Amino acid sequence: MFGGLLISLTHSLGAFSLNSFHEPSTMHTVLGVATLPAPQKKSRIQFTALGYYAHASRAKVGSVRDETASIFSNNGGPTTVELGDRLGRLNMLGLLLGDGPSPYTEEEKFENKRDITVLHKAYTDIAAEGTDAAPYISPTYSDPNDIYGRYSTRLKYERFGARGSLEYAFQSGLSVAVRSGLAQYTINPLYRVYGGATLDDGEWSTTILEATGVKKAINDALMTSAKRNSIADLLGRDFGKVVTTQPEDTSIEIVWSKSYVMQDAQGDDVVTVIPHVGMAFTLPTGHKANTKKVFDISLGNDGFYAASFEGSLNFDFPGMLRFGLGGSVTLFDDDSRKMYAPSSPYQAGIYPWSATVTKRPGALWKAHASVVAPHFIDFLNAYFSYEYVSHEKDSITITGSDAALFLPEKLAKDGEYSAQLIHLGFDYEVTPALKFGLAIQSVFNAKKCWKTTTMGGSFTFVF
């Protein structure tokens, strides 16, 4: 009976991984990271369509303070911040620091204080406050506790999408699958200057209350909505809302899974051991983050090819639960492109200059544990899993005549993040060939990662 139950449950693949601080684990089925054995009597085709909704309102940052952060914690644990503060508060003062490269001419760098651009005027206006202003516009400015000249950015992130998976499982235990999707997402930023009051229209105030002297000069020169828009025009950036509908990355997966029944001395089945190994290749068919838009995201690996390798060991106990432990690693190809890069260690959240960058995203490691409760209520199956995700810092090389003016190590650290997720899913077998499913997945602890919650509903056809 138990063997027949295992055969009736459709196989699922799970080697596909994406490098996404906003979606650390991609949900393509309600199983999450749980895997089920391949068919044992004949080959099988399975098609799954999943609609999902994802949202986030807060992010988690690390507990170690660095020179670019403004409101990081020293209490030994991660700190919850606004989504837009994931890499530190947007430091508008950082645009005035250092003697970095310029998109204009050598004679027009900010330090020349000529009234040519809004940033030159900002430098001049702040410097006019005399010695009190000197620390704020010095290349050695290094007070991460100072909130003046920095935005706290509240983002409203919502995403709707549809994903499809087509899998073919052979009787031998070998399976192949193709997965892809389409998503529409909205990222709406609201900027707040320290001390500001919330306005009736929901926008955060851009007026520092009771600010005087150099602090008022910083606010007036850099932090008002008009100045923010002028600076965006100057730098070719967009600080506004992002709304777009774009395709997601596509993966091709190959997995081998086989069941081995362990029996006791009386010949009774004690446990079925199911090793599971797989690999996936990700094609960058998805939307790449628009670097002109400060808070845009990619819908995949941001244009990088990737290869994932996964392994797990699963234990089925007759008439009880199924437990699994496993992990995976995803490696990326490198690519050369124009990117915004830091030219001062005190720039945070926004970099004014672009450079020719050869980038290889850091390795993406995952470890997971799963529990499957088959038919725990009639034809209803339940899936629970825990997953730990860690993305190493990127490999960055900057080339060109002005390469020495940039800080590749700082840019590389921007790619680091880690997350812990829980997943709970259910599916109901309407017929042996049709299932309906529901699932919820949430990030509950993280570092430099959005606390995203994803809900999905699916239907599956088995042939």
Cα–Cα dist 120/137, whole Å:
12
Give the Cα separation of 80 and 64 in Å (integer): 13
Site of tokens 């086989």: 258
Residue 232 parent element (H or E): helix 225-235
Sheet strands side by side (includes 449-450): 79-82, 58-61, 449-450
Structure letter (DSSP) for residue 137: G
Specify the pLDDT at position 133. Answer: 85
Give the residue extent of every domain in the chain: 2-462
Instruction: Residue 82: name the closest of 57, 110, 115 by CA.
Output: 57
The tens place of each residue's pLDDT in the chain, 463 residues long, gives 333 333 333 445 666 789 999 999 999 999 988 776 655 567 889 999 999 999 999 999 875 444 333 333 334 455 889 999 999 888 898 888 765 444 434 344 444 434 457 888 888 888 888 888 888 887 766 665 677 888 889 999 999 999 999 999 888 889 999 999 999 999 999 888 765 544 434 445 545 556 678 888 888 888 888 888 899 988 889 999 999 999 999 999 999 988 899 988 887 888 999 999 999 999 999 999 999 999 999 999 999 999 999 999 999 998 789 999 999 999 999 999 999 999 888 888 888 888 899 999 999 999 999 999 998 888 999 999 999 999 999 999 999 878 888 899 999 999 999 999 999 999 999 998 999 999 999 999 999 999 999 999 999 998 8
pLDDT reported for residue 292: 92
Residue 332 confidence (pLDDT):
97
Q: According to the CATH classification, is domain 2-462 in 2.40.30.10?
A: no
pTM attached to this predicted model: 0.86
pLDDT value for 38: 57
Rounded CA separation 329/367 (Å): 9
| Full DSSP string of 382-440 | EEEEEEEEEEPPPEEEEESTTGGGS-HHHHHHTT-EEEEEEEEEEEEEEETTEEEEEEE
Q: For residue 111, give the 3-state DSSP assignment.
A: helix
Query: Is the Cβ–Cβ distance between 97 and 135 less than 8 Å?
Result: no
**Cα dist. 292→95, 233, 338, 357, 446 in Å?**
16, 10, 11, 16, 27
What distances in angstroms separate CA 9 from CA 48, 167, 262, 272, 324, one per listed residue?
14, 14, 20, 15, 16
What pLDDT was estimated at residue 83?
A: 93
Strand partners, 244: 185
Beta carbons of 151 and 81 less than 8 angstroms apart: no
CA–CA separation, 141 and 33 (whole Å): 46
Tokens found for residue 122: 């900002």
Q: Any idea which residue has 């991984």 for tokens?
A: 17
pLDDT of residue 370: 94
